[in-house]
Amino acid sequence: MSSTSHDHPLPPPRVEEVSDGIYAYIQPDGSWWINNTGFLAGRRGVIGVDACSTERRTRAYREAVAAVSGRPITTLVNTHHHGDHTFGNYLFPEATIVGHEGTREHILAEGIPAYRAAWSAEVEWGALEAVPPFLTFTDRVTLYSDDLRCEVRHVGGAAHTTNDSYVWIPERRVLFSGDLVFNGGTPFVLMGSVTGAIEALSQLDELDAETIVPGHGEICGPEVIDRVRGYLRFVLATAERGRAAGLTPLETARESDLGEWAGLLDPERIVGNLHRAYAELDGLPPGGPIDLVAAVGDMITFNGGRPLSCLA
């Protein structure tokens, strides 16, 4: 059963300046489809990092940017293809949208995906349009906010998805991690790789970041990387035990004690994560295709047969 607490109104999104001219846009509570974004406000324009999942939330994000800077949003970086970070792309018609080649490919292939039906019918998505990045890269690309260097780096393999990138601002030791880092929410690798996500975290370790704006949850420091890694290792160990006992991912999830991870938001993600871990233990390459419909269906079953909770 989901522990996501939606029995009270969520706090409003807020802007927080994490370094001079660098802003995080934090959307509580960071559960399904409620992501963080951010932006760099320069003299000539604004560089945004990710959009939001709904029309309403993306318009509010734009208003928050405008309250800080009267300059145009010249560039929008997508850290990966998931809709909570890209559905709002169409509301940035003036911006050059930048992303990994795989991010473009997935958005073009999926459009506005039907799997949104797995979540609460009360979500007001708005008049969404699928708009992919039109400036793409394979490894990395460097952007500048005035003279401030911003490195957009692909992790090199499957992790949260097959096309994750992060934005690293070395002079300020600020990292926009995308969904490589969840703070307070359950990490999710159904569309990526458990082992690949652990490897990606080692890349983040090497940055020696001082401030991390995670894809979901509150601004944090590098200590959260260890917590995400610990959860992913728990998933691998749980999958090994369940598979050895002949249990399905859903059966394994039901018989497992989440222990220290039980308090994370959206705990039903353990089922999707186990589907991915089982596939990798069976020899599927990281990021290889699995039955997403079955995995999401099992998450709903684990959630008491109810649609997954969402207040986006």
Number of other CB atoms surrounding residue 84 within 10 Å: 25
Q: What percent of the chain has pLDDT over 70?
A: 97
The pLDDT mean for the chain works out to 96
Q: How confident is the model at residue 6 (pLDDT cuts 50, 70, 90)?
A: low
Q: How confident is the model at residue 312 (pLDDT cuts 50, 70, 90)?
A: very high
pLDDT tens-digit readout, 93-123: 999 999 999 999 999 999 999 889 999 878 9
Give pLDDT, residue 74: 98
Give pLDDT, residue 186: 98
Residue 151, SS3 per DSSP: strand
Give pLDDT, residue 3: 43
- Closest alpha carbon to 238 in 276, 264, 204, 291: 276
pLDDT tens-digit readout, 226-240: 999 999 999 999 999
Q: Which residue has the higher pLDDT, 6 or 94?
A: 94
Give pLDDT, residue 83: 98
Which domains are delineated in the chain? 14-302 (3.60.15.10)
User: What is the distance between the terminal CA atoms of the chain, rounded to a whole angstrom?
Assistant: 20
Give pLDDT, residue 7: 55
CA distance 124 to 54: 7
Using the predicted structure, report yes or no on whether residue 36 has a pLDDT greater than 60. yes
Give pLDDT, residue 4: 46
Using the predicted structure, report yes or no on whether residue 158 has a pLDDT greater than 80. yes
CA atoms within 13 A on the CB side of 298: 21
pLDDT tens-digit readout, 131-146: 999 999 999 999 999 9
Using the predicted structure, report yes or no on whether residue 2 has a pLDDT greater than 50. no
Spatial neighbors of 280 by CB under 8 A, at least 6 apart, are 193, 194, 195, 286
User: What is the rounded average pLDDT of the residues 34-55?
Assistant: 98
pLDDT tens-digit readout, 245-278: 999 999 999 999 999 999 999 999 999 999 999 9
Structure tokens at 171: 């002079």
pLDDT tens-digit readout, 175-214: 999 999 999 999 999 999 999 999 999 999 999 999 999 9
Give pLDDT, residue 8: 59
Give pLDDT, residue 197: 98
Residue 168, SS3 per DSSP: strand
Give pLDDT, residue 5: 47
- Closest alpha carbon to 61 in 76, 80, 43: 76
